[in-house]
Structure 1
Amino acid sequence: MKKKLFSQLWIYFAAITFLMMFVVLSVFVGLLFMINHYQLLTPEREGHLFPFYFIIFLSLVIGAALSFFVGKRILQPIGNLRQAMSKVSKGDFTVQLDEQQQMEDVEELYHDFNVMVKELNSIETLRNDFVSTVSHEFKTPIATIKGYVQLLQNDSLSKEERQNYLERMLDGTQQLTHLTDNILKLSKLENQGLGLDFQNFRLDEQIRQVILFLQPKWEQLNLTLDLDLPRTNYFGNEEFLYQVWLNLMDNAIKYSQKDSSIHVHLSNEEDGQIITISDEGIGMSNEVASRIFDKFYQSDTSRKTKGNGLGLALAKQIVELHHGTIKVNSSPNKGSNFKIYLPNRLKTS
């Protein structure tokens, strides 16, 4: 809709100013006419001050009427908005203004205010959830490390027990490091955005490096890897894309059944690359699949599985910064299939 040149508020103020000027001018013109025509100011004439009293009374009535109009139609909506904004500034994000107003501009202003408050409420809820989840994620390994430190103070521990406690403390510190790294990477992506450094590299070799890096994990479960990785050159951010394959492969291994298989296929299409990573693990429901890329979301609320709910959120953000997409198709007890599409990007000079 074409934006109006003059808003209703401007028209109201202009009309009131013009009306007041017109009234004042009319009163003075009328006063001069009456004085000249009826010679009202002659001392000999009885009641010669009555016209002045009438004019003063009339001016007060007109002024009161105009003040009521201005207050009712213009100043009161502004006052209501000021009170509502004061409540919001104190942390009350439940405030909503009545959008049914006589003036269209005030109605639009109230509507925009209501939308803003709803968005602030959503952000505040997200912030509270974020703080709560991060606090929980940090508290668990810290409490574990503290507990083992106390146990290590026992001089009667055997060498094997002491070594076991030290390894568990190391696991706790690695969990904290992993959580911190993911939070910092997410923050870097959100702030850096499309300013990432892109370069040419071998995409197939990068995925192989990730698989070799995770070899101790998949060998421990005796997993079979079905690989189809043709030679592929890609122009993108090598550092962050490595994190995508690392998170996806780590998840595939973590949720796979022993002696099962993981399939990793890379397909070179005309407009981009398609990478699929499939496992034969526990899978997930549609409800879990719809939220799997949310920050800090973990389907295992008991937290028996390692992780902090940031890996897939990080992977999705990296893929989207490459203008690609990542999708998951999964069913309980039938495994999961992650499909990543990375469009080709022309190298710019």
Structure 2
Amino acid sequence: MKKKLFPQLWMYFVAITFLLMVIVLTVFVCLLFLINHFHLLSPERDDHLFPFYFIIFLSLVIGAVLSIFVGKRILQPIGDLRQAMSKVAKGDFSMQLEEKHQIEDVAELYHDFNVMVEELSSIETLRNDFVSTVSHEFKTPLATIKGYVQLLQNEASESERQIYLERMLDGTQQLTHLTDNILKLSKLENQGIGLDFQIFRLDEQIREVILFLQPKWEQLNLTLDLTLPRTEYYGNEEFLYQVWLNLMDNAIKYSQKNGSIHIHLTNDALGPTITICDEGIGMTKAVTDRIFDKFYQSDTSRKTYGNGLGLALTKQIILLHHGTIQVKSTPEQGSSFKLFLPNDPKNS
């Protein structure tokens, strides 16, 4: 691509200043030559001051032309940027500037401005989604607890009181689950470098999670297909437990009754690979593309329990171990999560 003659802003100022000096010098040299040749400054002439008036007029014309040029080419883009920044400061994040500009510095400045506005817009959207989602997640169990407290204040049988207390306990557990996930996610994002790593039995940890969730998968009469050979891994035991808990809980939650869940662990020189498959309701591609986003829930009716943080937390934990997580899913056929954890995170 051919380089422009004056691609940078400072070069425009240098060129304009130099051009101004050359023009003024040339004009004055020519005028002095004419004045000397025709003896125009002779006091005997009635119009001997005319050359001075002409020089002043010509200087004003040259100054006006150069001022218009500078304002049009250099100062106007800065003014447009100032107006755009003023609109962004008032909350208009749809503002975008035309990046095609002859001055390279101005084009880059406009590009950086557009990128900044896009980032601010995404942050504002995320903030709004966060506030609305968290407020909704807190509001629902709080309203439930409040309702059952009011019912307990009225006359009720012992069996009804027990039901109300159990449902109040469910509401408090939901709030605890939400706050725990938010705190864990914040800890991972801000303090992930300081995670405590140690050697532990990965296959035994997955078995512990399966036993912990036994009441849930037994209730649906699910069949578990397990391949868990002895595997030792160097990682953060606490947070990896959360990974298997989240993935297994989702596999059970979205499985059909009398279905199957397949959990396979393979180990090689690079590291263990874990695959968790279910035969549940599955997901569309639009859902799988956003499934690891914070607070994203494909079930907008909130008929299923959750707050959209489990898989975001899972992915963050895997990334902190320098691993990978992939998902494949087909509606009405089930979903498959494949995780890889490198034995040597530094060289992964």
Report the counterpart of residue 247 of structure 1 in structure 2.
Answer: 246
1:274 to 1:5, Cα distance in 2 relative to 1, 3 A: farther
For the 8 Å contact 1:330–1:337, the answer to whether it is kept is yes
Report the counterpart of residue 73 of structure 1 in structure 2.
Answer: 73
1:57-92 CA deviation, whole Å, 9 max, x = no partner? 111111111101101111111111111111111111
Q: Report the alpha carbon displacement of residue 112 of structure 1 after superposing the two structures with TM.
A: 3.4
1:11-30 CA deviation, whole Å, 9 max, x = no partner? 11001112233344456656
Distance 2:283 2:37 in 1: 97
Q: Report the alpha carbon displacement of residue 171 of structure 1 after superposing the two structures with TM.
A: 0.7
Q: Report the alpha carbon displacement of residue 37 of structure 1 after superposing the two structures with TM.
A: 6.8
Q: Report the alpha carbon displacement of residue 143 of structure 1 after superposing the two structures with TM.
A: 1.0
SS in 2 for 1:327: strand
Distance 2:4 2:191 in 1: 38
For the 8 Å contact 2:276–2:336, the answer to whether it is kept is yes
1:311-336 CA deviation, whole Å, 9 max, x = no partner? 11211221122222222233334333
Report the counterpart of residue 179 of structure 2 in structure 1.
Answer: 180
Deviates more, 1:98-107 or 1:274-283: 98-107
Report the counterpart of residue 14 of structure 1 in structure 2.
Answer: 14
Distance 1:347 1:56 in 2: 73
1:252-302 CA deviation, whole Å, 9 max, x = no partner? 222233343332221112211111122333333343333322222222222
The TM-score, its normalising length taken from structure 2, stands at: 0.88
Q: Report the alpha carbon displacement of residue 250 of structure 1 after superposing the two structures with TM.
A: 1.1
1:102 to 1:3, Cα distance in 2 relative to 1, 3 A: closer
Alignment of 1:194-205 (within 5 A): 194-205=193-204
Deviates more, 1:195-204 or 1:234-243: 195-204
For the 8 Å contact 1:256–1:280, the answer to whether it is kept is yes
Distance 2:226 2:244 in 1: 14
Report the counterpart of residue 120 of structure 1 in structure 2.
Answer: 120
Report the counterpart of residue 153 of structure 2 in structure 1.
Answer: 153
1:345 to 1:5, Cα distance in 2 relative to 1, 3 A: farther
Distance 2:341 2:147 in 1: 45
Kindly, what percent of the aligned residue pairs are identical?
80
Distance 1:190 1:272 in 2: 24
SS in 2 for 1:169: helix
Alignment of 1:85-96 (within 5 A): 85-96=85-96
SS in 2 for 1:343: coil
Deviates more, 1:237-246 or 1:1-10: 1-10
For the 8 Å contact 2:93–2:120, the answer to whether it is kept is yes
| Structure 1 residue identity aligned to 2:309 | L
Q: Report the alpha carbon displacement of residue 43 of structure 1 after superposing the two structures with TM.
A: 4.4
Report the counterpart of residue 340 of structure 1 in structure 2.
Answer: 339
Distance 2:182 2:2 in 1: 44
Alignment of 1:29-48 (within 5 A): 43-48=43-48
1:82-138 CA deviation, whole Å, 9 max, x = no partner? 111111111111112233434344334333333332333233223222222222111
For the 8 Å contact 1:199–1:235, the answer to whether it is kept is yes
Report the counterpart of residue 143 of structure 1 in structure 2.
Answer: 143
The TM-score, its normalising length taken from structure 1, stands at: 0.88
Report the counterpart of residue 221 of structure 1 in structure 2.
Answer: 220
Tell me if 1:270 matches 2:272: no
Deviates more, 1:204-213 or 1:265-274: 204-213
Report the counterpart of residue 300 of structure 1 in structure 2.
Answer: 299
Q: Report the alpha carbon displacement of residue 233 of structure 1 after superposing the two structures with TM.
A: 1.2
Deviates more, 1:163-172 or 1:315-324: 315-324
SS in 2 for 1:340: strand
Distance 1:5 1:101 in 2: 13
Residue-pair matches, total: 347
Deviates more, 1:70-79 or 1:195-204: 195-204
Report the counterpart of residue 312 of structure 1 in structure 2.
Answer: 311
Q: Report the alpha carbon displacement of residue 141 of structure 1 after superposing the two structures with TM.
A: 0.9
For the 8 Å contact 2:6–2:12, the answer to whether it is kept is no
Distance 1:41 1:143 in 2: 97
Distance 2:161 2:3 in 1: 74
Q: Report the alpha carbon displacement of residue 214 of structure 1 after superposing the two structures with TM.
A: 2.0
1:93 to 1:347, Cα distance in 2 relative to 1, 3 A: closer
1:3 to 1:241, Cα distance in 2 relative to 1, 3 A: farther
Distance 1:60 1:330 in 2: 74
For the 8 Å contact 1:235–1:347, the answer to whether it is kept is no
Distance 1:261 1:63 in 2: 84
Distance 1:193 1:102 in 2: 45
Q: Report the alpha carbon displacement of residue 140 of structure 1 after superposing the two structures with TM.
A: 0.8
1:120 to 1:49, Cα distance in 2 relative to 1, 3 A: same
Distance 1:343 1:86 in 2: 49
For the 8 Å contact 1:88–1:117, the answer to whether it is kept is yes
SS in 1 for 2:110: helix
1:261 to 1:7, Cα distance in 2 relative to 1, 3 A: same
Q: Report the alpha carbon displacement of residue 236 of structure 1 after superposing the two structures with TM.
A: 1.6
For the 8 Å contact 2:84–2:95, the answer to whether it is kept is yes
